[in-house]
Amino acid sequence: MRTLTILCGLILLSAGVDTGQADPRLLKRWVGTHQGLPLWLDFYGDTMLVVNDMYALDYFASPRSLEAVGDTAFRVSYWFARDRLLLETDDGHVLTMAEQDPLARPLFAGTWRGTTIGRAQPVIDLRMFRGGVARYHEYPDGTWIEGEYDRSTRIITFTWFVDTLQLEGEAGAEPDSLEWVGQYDPAGNALLFPGTIPEESLPDAGTVVLRRAFRW
């Protein structure tokens, strides 16, 4: 198990984990600095991301202690003061972190999966990469379709370059591209497509919800 260098000073020596409930104010994006380097913590339900880590961590929190377990591991004590999150290291140093507006959260590259509301199939497997490149297919064995994406605040637009042989059942010339226009929900860590995914690309498509798939 590796321990992220930037956080190596945050590990506490106290034994055991408090079993109380976590303060709900943790469930945000907190930004600060540590040893002159950027430090941010993203909390999503029962998982979190550290810095720009591509792998989610499990975390356990009581009203005063926070422990993260995974490829990166650390344990700190924490509290809130004047709308700031304060983290205390084992040597007594206190790091101050400020809340970041949810819309300032980066749209993380990675895997997003979901389906039409009220349906179990088809499952859409969407992969987003840095540089605005994306691809999707129907999970698990559908043909991959390549494309790109652009985000403007809450609105995200995907343009898919579709081989005409991949579209069936349409009379006349087939389009060589498809466009999905949806919304990014940073608080729910989801992509929402309210009826905008064309039926020819996904049969019986309606309102589609894709969530970041840290694990599958």
| Per-residue pLDDT tens over the stretch 13-32 | 232 334 345 678 888 889 98
Whole-angstrom Cα distance, residue 205 to residue 155? 19
Cβ atoms of 112 and 128 within 8 Å: the answer is yes
What are the beta bridge partners of residue 187? none
Q: Does the pLDDT at position 12 exceed 60? A: no
How many Cα atoms sit within 13 Å of 191 on the Cβ side? 30
Return the structure tokens found at 188.
């729910």
Q: Does the pLDDT at position 64 exceed 90? A: no
pLDDT in tens, 153-167: 788 899 998 764 444
pLDDT in tens, 140-149: 889 999 999 9
> What pTM was estimated for this model as a whole?
0.55
CB atoms within 10 A of CB 215: 8
Whole-angstrom Cα distance, residue 184 to residue 190? 6
